[in-house]
Amino acid sequence: MARLDILEFPDARLRTIAQPVKTFDAALQQLIDDMFETMYEAPGIGLAATQVNEHIQLIVIDVSEDRSEPLVFINPSISVVDQELAEYDEGCLSVPGFYETVSRPRQVIVKALDRQGQAFEMTVEGLLATCIQHEMDHLNGKLFVDYLSTLKRQRIRSKLEKAHKLAASA
């Protein structure tokens, strides 16, 4: 397995719309394994392929404390079950060091394919529902900072751009 580079905001590649997965081959299986390794090492609880510059509809998630519940969602779609919103302080591996409160539907149904291409459906709520919606936003070229005020988003952008310049000159 290999640790992949995670794109960071404001990298324009994070705005790329992901394409459906059509081929379930060894390369896809390797990408899934590499994404889990990358997510766990970061550390994070979710990672979309877009974040590692692979623009396909693939998400890996594990919200368990002990990394024992890895989930793979390929070509996912969601529908809202409950219009009630839940607020979570969201962070993102592509926006390191920043956490902001975002409101999302509390409960959703997700339909997707697993790593072998088998269809499944889950009704999820709480942290898992939030994580799935957050990662699905990545597949659509959207980041959690897009839910924030223009001022907050601009402050985060400026701080990350400054950090990137310092890292590049080091």
DSSP summary character for residue 19: B
Q: Which residues does the annotation mark as catalytic?
A: 135
The gap from C-alpha 155 to its chain's centroid, in whole angstroms, comes to 22
Q: Is 55 annotated as a binding residue?
A: no
Residue with tokens 């081959």: 25
Q: How far apart are CA 81 and CA 106, in angstroms?
A: 8
Q: How far apart are CA 45 and CA 32, in angstroms?
A: 14
Q: Is 131 annotated as a binding residue?
A: no
Annotated binding site for Fe cation: 92, 134, 138
